[in-house]
């Protein structure tokens, strides 16, 4: 059966006239189909990428990352200069962080936000000036605080009252005044998934606005601390501006009160700006976001009779999310008939057993095509965590077949291991096809796991027809090397077609062109 008008499709999903087409708001800037119908990313074909690096593989459009970072900075610089102030843009490293990406964004003029000792280590190993780093986290360890202070991290975000003394003590030991922000829970509810909203009253981040004046007094009482301003982050993947505007109003009112007792040079309004994962998503352009922020901050400061502070923002997903696709290979196809009007009936059974059997009957049904790939929730946990939606296209060829409603499933031993819950692909999708899933640059690799003992995929940067590994993928040898019960593991050379090692008497490590 065809999928035209398939009742299993979600209301937001529109059947495309051409299931080969790429929506430019969803796919990387340099993603195209060539004359043979094969997808190219940064000038490199999907087939070449799969042959060299295996699948799954994260493919990152380097030029797109650089251009997006520069565009964000230019938009905030321009709009806040228009109202008589300036802005700092921090790249939120939690979205995706590697040494190369750290260099790309700082070369574009951005700062970097880190929120763990590991992320700090990556930024420092990349050669980033510590003064260009901000350090977040609701439960920073003593060791993390000490390292951040000792290496000269530009600013530490204090997330709780207990951290004030910890940061002050570390700064005093190292003999300098540490610049700090105070994170607030503004009480603004972003219109987003429950687990992505981070400024509600009953949650782990920040302190209530009512408690802020006393906390700032405590910070200012320490000669080893320099208070530079407030911080708030209302959530992630937000498509509307009202929540940001209300949060800005609340923080500026407090900012004005704090000015009465000392300087407050900056105000950090966080990030969380949404991107398009599907054609149904409508994300605000960065130029619109920057303009609205500048206008509301300027208007509120005029109303309060205060000078505009330096504004800071922390986009991550907006910069790296749309730049990356994950390439998979299709393994199995399964058509599943789903009942639409299911009736459950109790069938009479033997009185001696007195147990009823359940049977079902249905007056109508529809077909869902399950397309299983060689990755899954180990490389993209967001659909399982947040019910996130994604878009997919056949990458190795174009097709004239009619569109079919599909669900892209992973290979893990979980019924919830879904990569794309609903999209349309050509109905002739078949085993061996390469499948590209768009907008996987943010919170996919960074949330990746070794579930079912799968190695985390490599990350490959593409630009001007060239491809290079920026994060090496994991092999079975890597995974087994951590198991202290394994005395010796030796692998034969990994095949470029399946990247699976077999136990042998010799040992080789894969080259960059494999994993």
Query: What six digits make up the tokens of 290?
Result: 């920057």
Query: What six digits make up the tokens of 466?
Result: 């060239």
Specify the pLDDT at position 487. Answer: 79
Residue 101, CA distances (Å) to 259, 320, 459, 469, 508 in order? 37, 9, 11, 12, 29
| Alpha-carbon span 470 to 405, nearest angstrom | 35
Decide: 127 and 107 in contact? Cβ < 8 Å.
no
The per-residue b/e assignment along 380-390, b for 16 or more CB within 10 angstroms, e otherwise, is: bbbbbebebbb
Specify the pLDDT at position 274. Answer: 87
Residues 6+ apart with CB under 8 A from 111: 88, 89, 90, 91, 132, 133, 134, 154
Among 234, 277, 279, CA closest to 441: 277
| Alpha-carbon span 92 to 97, nearest angstrom | 9
Active-site residue, from 115, 301, 413, 444 = 413
| Alpha-carbon span 462 to 330, nearest angstrom | 23
Same fold, 31-61+322-459 and 62-321: no
Decide: 322 and 28 in contact? Cβ < 8 Å.
yes
CATH class of 31-61+322-459: mainly beta
Query: What six digits make up the tokens of 477?
Result: 């040898």
Specify the pLDDT at position 470. Answer: 98
Specify the pLDDT at position 380. Answer: 98
Specify the pLDDT at position 405. Answer: 96
Among 212, 166, 167, CA closest to 185: 212
What is the model's pTM?
Answer: 0.88
Is the backbone peptide bond immediately before 251 cis, with ω within 30 degrees of 0?
no
Domain ranges of the chain: 31-61+322-459, 62-321, 475-515
> What phi and psi values does residue 293 have, to the nearest 5 degrees?
-60, -45
Q: Is 115 a catalytic residue?
A: no
Q: What is the CA radius of gyration of the chain?
A: 26
Among 126, 125, 177, CA closest to 156: 177
Specify the pLDDT at position 244. Answer: 72
Chunked mean pLDDT (size 10), the chain, 515 residues:
70 94 97 97 98 98 98 97 97 97 98 98 98 96 98 97 98 97 78 45 80 96 98 66 77 94 94 90 91 93 96 95 98 92 51 51 80 98 94 98 97 96 97 98 97 97 98 96 80 48 37 49
Specify the pLDDT at position 188. Answer: 62
CATH of 62-321, one of 3.20.20.10, 2.30.110.10, 1.10.8.50, 3.10.450.50: 3.20.20.10
């Amino acid at each position: 059966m065809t999928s035209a008008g398939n009742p299993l499709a979600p209301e937001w999903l529109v059947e495309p006239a051409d299931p080969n087409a790429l929506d430019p708001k969803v796919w990387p800037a340099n993603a195209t189909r060539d004359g043979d119908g094969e997808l190219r990313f940064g000038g490199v074909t999907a087939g070449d990428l799969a042959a060299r690096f295996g699948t799954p593989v994260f493919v990152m459009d380097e030029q797109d990352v650089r251009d997006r970072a520069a565009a964000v900075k230019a938009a905030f610089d321009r709009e806040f200069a228009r109202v008589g102030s300036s802005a700092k843009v921090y790249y939120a490293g939690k979205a995706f962080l590697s040494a190369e990406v750290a260099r790309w964004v700082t070369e574009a003029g951005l700062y970097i936000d880190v929120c763990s000792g590991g992320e700090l280590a990556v930024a420092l190993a990349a050669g980033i000036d510590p003064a260009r780093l901000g350090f977040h986290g609701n439960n920073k360890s003593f060791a993390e605080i000490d390292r951040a202070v000792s290496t000269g991290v530009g600013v530490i975000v204090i997330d709780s009252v207990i951290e004030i003394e910890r940061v002050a003590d570390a700064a005093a030991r190292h003999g300098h005044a540490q610049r700090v922000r105070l994170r607030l829970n503004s009480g603004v509810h972003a219109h987003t998934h429950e687990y992505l909203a981070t400024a509600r009253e009953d949650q782990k981040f920040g302190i209530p606005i009512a408690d802020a004046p006393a906390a700032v007094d405590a910070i200012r009482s320490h000669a080893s601390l320099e208070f530079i301003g407030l911080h708030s982050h209302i959530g992630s993947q937000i498509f509307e501006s009202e929540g940001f505007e209300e949060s800005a109003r609340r923080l500026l009112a407090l900012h004005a009160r704090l000015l009465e007792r000392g300087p407050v040079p900056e105000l950090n309004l966080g990030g969380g700006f949404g991107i398009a994962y599907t054609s149904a998503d409508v994300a605000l352009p960065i130029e619109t976001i920057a303009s609205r922020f500048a206008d509301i901050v300027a208007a509120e400061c005029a109303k309060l009779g205060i000078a505009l502070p330096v504004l800071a923002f922390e986009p991550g997903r907006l910069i790296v999310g749309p730049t990356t696709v994950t390439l998979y290979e299709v393994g199995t196809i399964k058509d599943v008939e789903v009942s639409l009007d299911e009736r459950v009936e109790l069938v009479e059974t033997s009185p001696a057993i007195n147990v009823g059997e359940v049977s079902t009957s249905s007056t109508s049904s529809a077909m869902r095509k399950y397309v299983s790939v060689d990755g899954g929730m180990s490389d993209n946990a967001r659909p399982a965590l947040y019910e996130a939606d994604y878009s997919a296209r056949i990458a190795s060829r174009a097709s004239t077949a009619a569109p079919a409603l599909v669900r892209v499933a992973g290979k893990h031993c979980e019924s919830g291991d879904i990569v794309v819950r609903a999209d349309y692909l050509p109905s002739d999708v078949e085993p061996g096809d390469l499948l590209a899933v768009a907008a996987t640059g943010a919170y996919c690799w960074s949330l990746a796991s070794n579930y079912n003992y799968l190695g985390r995929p490599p990350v490959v940067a593409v630009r001007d027809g060239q491809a290079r590994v920026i994060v090496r993928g994991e092999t079975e040898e890597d995974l087994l090397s951590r198991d202290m019960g394994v005395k010796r593991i030796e692998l034969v050379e990994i095949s470029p077609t399946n990247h699976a090692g077999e136990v042998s008497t010799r040992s080789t490590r894969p080259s960059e062109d494999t994993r």
